[in-house]
């Protein structure tokens, strides 16, 4: 049986063109259950394995993205489907330290992050017995 998992990814990128330094990138993953989702009890002899990314291109930020915007983390929510694809990526708002769509000049940065996440591929989550 394959499981669908909701995953939150936080990406933080510093553009070399803006800083004059080497590009630093980082992507963190955290699985969260949507509100109202059914929880499965894991028995002692079982182990849950979270979806693992194997294709994770970073955003291609457009020219003109401000240095400030390039340093802000973007929190993206999406569903890892049975096919391993990232489905329905959307900006996750209201999370401390993450960008908000209302921030001036952030739209091209968010659009690039969402386009990159839409290309991510995962090995599906599963239950080992």
| pLDDT tens by residue, 76-118 | 999 888 899 999 999 988 888 888 888 887 888 889 889 999 9
In a domain, 88, yes or no: yes
Identify whether the C-beta of residue 44 lies closer than 8 Å to the C-beta of residue 118. no
Domain that holds residue 52: 42-63+72-128
In a domain, 13, yes or no: no
What mean pLDDT value characterizes the chain? 74
**What CATH number is given to the structural domain containing 54?**
3.30.2420
Instruction: Give SS3 for 56.
Output: coil
* % pLDDT > 90, the chain: 19
In a domain, 86, yes or no: yes
In total, how many domains does the chain have? 1
In a domain, 22, yes or no: no
The pTM (predicted TM-score) of the whole model is 0.69
């Amino acid at each position: 049986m394959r499981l669908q998992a909701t995953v939150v990814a936080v990406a933080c990128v510093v553009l070399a063109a803006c800083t004059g330094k080497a590009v630093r990138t980082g992507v963190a993953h955290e699985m969260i259950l949507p509100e109202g989702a059914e929880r499965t009890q894991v028995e002692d002899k079982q182990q849950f394995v979270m979806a693992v990314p194997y294709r994770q291109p970073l955003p291609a930020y457009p020219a003109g993205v401000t240095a400030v915007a390039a340093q802000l983390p973007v929190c993206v929510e999406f569903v890892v489907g049975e096919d391993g694809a990232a489905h329905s990526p959307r900006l996750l708002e209201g999370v401390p330290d993450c960008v908000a769509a209302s921030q001036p000049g952030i739209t091209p940065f968010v659009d690039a992050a969402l386009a990159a996440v839409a290309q991510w591929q995962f090995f599906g989550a599963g239950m080992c017995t």
